[in-house]
Chain A
Amino acid sequence: ETGVTQTPRHLVMGMTNKKSLKCEQHLGHNAMYWYKQSAKKPLELMFVYNFKEQTENNSVPSRFSPECPNSSHLFLHLHTLQPEDSALYLCASSHPVRGQVETQYFGPGTRLLVL
């Protein structure tokens, strides 16, 4: 148990559906991250939020829309996805020190299948 929870754990959706992934951290961290992990590919950073402000968008398609209402919660809204978006989506949080990236704590991930 890392202190970061993600729901749902598994999600199957059609290309025309709209769904949301939720992440919550109970660690008092001020930075939160979304990563995508596809088969046989390195973990890809998608978005970074610091104190609720988006500080990084790693050229992610607009069909992925993040939302960070407060430092403890992070959402990833999904719409009109493609089959190649099927992957494990991981949320993480950390407490940057003097602007440096420190240890990240990961949630268990949401396994997404787009049909």
Chain B
Amino acid sequence: SQQGEEDPQALSIQEGENATMNCSYKTSINNLQWYRQNSGRGLVHLILIRSNEREKHSGRLRVTLDTSKKSSSLLITASRAADTASYFCATAGRRALTFGSGTRLQVQP
């Protein structure tokens, strides 16, 4: 069954603006991960947050996790045209990751 569900499905912003994507999931998790995919290519890992963590930063990325609400958010600050891609959250179970449908981010120069 599908675990992560991203919101919004698509997002279009101007360069320099911040982009926020949300992910909701249904069952308990060990960790939650965010990945990025450029059109038709493989996924690239961005950040992993464990179930006992609430917030994590990596460069211009900020991820939060609320296990009581079963939700996570990814914030990209000061976006660039090169950030244009699809972003996926993935919840980690015992054996594998379960991915959501993704958010397509378009950053206009």
Q: Which residue of B lies closest to A55 (CB)?
A: B95
B contact residues vs A (CB 8 Å cutoff)? 2, 30-31, 33, 35, 40-45, 48, 88, 90, 92-102
Partner of A104, one of B2, B97, B102: B97
Contact A88 B43 (CB under 8 A): no
How many residues of A are in contact with the other chain, CB < 8 A? 27
Cα distance, A88 to B95, chains bound together (Å): 22
Measured CB to CB, the closest approach of chain B to A32, in angstroms, equals 11
Q: Which 10 A-B pairs have the closest CB atoms?
A: A106-B42, A43-B99, A101-B92, A106-B43, A108-B42, A100-B30, A42-B101, A103-B45, A45-B96, A42-B99
Please tell me which one of the listed residues A2, A40, A55, A109 contacts residue B44 in the complex, with CB atoms under 8 A apart: A2
- Chain A 81-95 per-residue mask, 1 if CB under 8 angstroms from chain B, else 0: 000000010101000
Cα A68 to Cα B74 in complex, Å, equals 35
